[in-house]
Amino acid sequence: MNDLNKQINKDLILRERLAIERTSMGNDRTLLAFIRTSLYFSIAGMSVNNLIEIDYGLWFEIAFWIMAVLILITGFFKYFKQKKSLKESEKHIGNYRLH
């Protein structure tokens, strides 16, 4: 019975490690999505004043740039917050006992 418990414990530890790895890769993809969105907003900011001749084009450009920077900052903040949370989760892998 003890060998069976050790095997089950190893399987659970492997599953937990793989789950954390998947979550980490998802976190990386999310950061890349935030960066991509930020780049789209910055390109829109550069383009709006040049393509559309309106009186307040400069203000639209500034607004798009501000949104791009805010999106980028939010993305990095969420990335590092999740990364810290994953580090904390790794400490608890295998800290359970089978009865």
Summarize the confidence of residues 47-69 as an average pLDDT: 87
Distance linking the first and last C-alpha atoms of the chain: 11
Whether residue 82 lies inside any domain: the answer is yes
Confidence class for position 95, pLDDT limits 50, 70, 90: low
Write the Ramachandran bin of 11: left for phi over 0, alpha for psi from -120 to 50, otherwise beta: alpha
Summarize the confidence of residues 22-43 as an average pLDDT: 96
pTM of the model: 0.77
Give residue 57's pLDDT. Answer: 82
Whether residue 97 lies inside any domain: the answer is no
Whether residue 99 lies inside any domain: the answer is no
Number of domains in the chain: 1
Q: Distance between CA 27 and CA 38 in Å, rounded?
A: 17
Instruction: Give me 38's structure tokens.
Output: 């930020």
Q: Is the pLDDT of residue 20 over 60?
A: yes
